Amino acid sequence: DTAVSQTPKYLVTQMGNDKSIKCEQNLGHDTMYWYKQDSKKFLKIMFSYNNKELIINETVPNRFSPKSPDKAHLNLHINSLELGDSAVYFCASRRDRGPNTGELFFGEGSRLTVL
Amino acid sequence: AQSVTQPDIHITVSEGASLELRCNYSYGATPYLFWYVQSPGQGLQLLLKYFSGDTLVQGIKGFEAEFKRSQSSFNLRKPSVHWSDAAEYFCAVGAKAYDMRFGAGTRLTVKP
């Protein structure tokens, strides 16, 4: 079973559209993240949720709205898509207990292309 | 917030040669330190981590890293590089308050 799964893997859409990316983890972790990786491979933290509560909200446009219906899911909705939103979006979950506390487990990424 | 610097954007080494990737961090307390590897089109995989204790940590695939508090560094090393090691390498610093920041990455090319 995939530990952290994201859907869709690829998303091509027009400017101005609204789209969502879903993420699910089956590791029992309490903390989940969204990262954006741009064309230069830079990984920028966007949001972090712990037990469904927003913990980190970086300077991300409010067109981006994360939603965590439960601890195992963290979805990302993007309104009014812009060309600059084209990137690979990674979901991750974090082990918060035990000997490997702090380790992140990543999904395979969702490549968003805005035309 | 903490920050991470990877000074080398791209490094090329010959297969069989040794490797060192540099990482410097900025954080007020003792951080959690990580190295991740990303193969093309893939997510990130943990190579190794430092939380406390022995400052030389061993990871998967023959990698090791040394935490040097005085230099705020956590450099990644491998004595003999294999062609399959070609990938993007990310250093990351984490804090207990859930924040995890990544460096800009170092792309490793391995020459035959």
Convert the pLDDT of each residue in A40-65 to its tens digit.
889 999 999 988 888 888 878 899 99
Each residue of B14-55: pLDDT tens digit?
999 999 999 999 887 778 899 999 998 888 999 999 988 899
DSSP summary character for residue B30: P
Contact A41 B38 (CB under 8 A): yes
* The CATH fold of domain A4-114: Immunoglobulin-like (2.60.40)
Within a 10 A sphere around the Cβ of A89, how many other Cβ atoms?
Answer: 22
pLDDT, averaged across chain A = 91
What pLDDT, on the 0 to 100 scale, is given for residue B40?
85
- Closest-CA distance of chain B to residue A108, Å: 4
For residue A32, give the chain B residue with the closest CA: B98
Measured between beta carbons, which residues in chain A are less than 8 angstroms from residue B92? 104
Let me know: does B46 contact B106? Beta carbons within 8 Å.
no
What pLDDT, on the 0 to 100 scale, is given for residue A95?
80
Lowest mean pLDDT among A47-51, A63-67, B86-90, B98-102: B98-102
Give the closest of B32, B88, B104 to A102, CB-based.
B32
B97 pLDDT above the threshold of 60? no
What pLDDT, on the 0 to 100 scale, is given for residue B95?
72
Query: What is the pLDDT averaged over residues A92-114?
Result: 87
Contact B90 A43 (CB under 8 A): yes
- CB-based contact (8 Å) between B34 and chain A? yes
Measured between beta carbons, which residues in chain B are less than 8 angstroms from residue A43? 44, 90, 102, 105
Look-up: residue for tokens 């022995």?
A: B54
Contact B98 A42 (CB under 8 A): no
Query: What is the pLDDT averaged over residues A25-53?
Result: 91
Let me know: does A6 contact A109? Beta carbons within 8 Å.
yes
Let me know: does B64 contact B78? Beta carbons within 8 Å.
yes
Query: What is the pLDDT averaged over residues B71-84?
Result: 96
- Closest-CA distance of chain A to residue B13, Å: 20
Encode B41-68 in three state secondary structure: CCCEEEEEEECCCCCEEECHHHCEEEEE
- By percentage, how much of chain A surpasses pLDDT 90? 73
B1 pLDDT above the threshold of 80? no
Lowest mean pLDDT among A96-100, B61-65, B94-98: B94-98
A38 pLDDT above the threshold of 80? yes
Backbone angles phi, psi at A57, to 5 degrees: -135, 95
Cα separation, B27 vs B48, whole angstroms: 19
B71 pLDDT above the threshold of 90? yes
The domain limits of chain A are 4-114
Cα separation, B47 vs A104, whole angstroms: 11
A1 pLDDT above the threshold of 70? no
Give the closest of B46, B98, B105 to A41, CB-based.
B105
pLDDT band of A96, cuts 50, 70, 90: confident
pLDDT band of B68, cuts 50, 70, 90: very high
pLDDT band of A33, cuts 50, 70, 90: very high
What pLDDT, on the 0 to 100 scale, is given for residue B96?
60
Domain B3-111: which CATH class? mainly beta
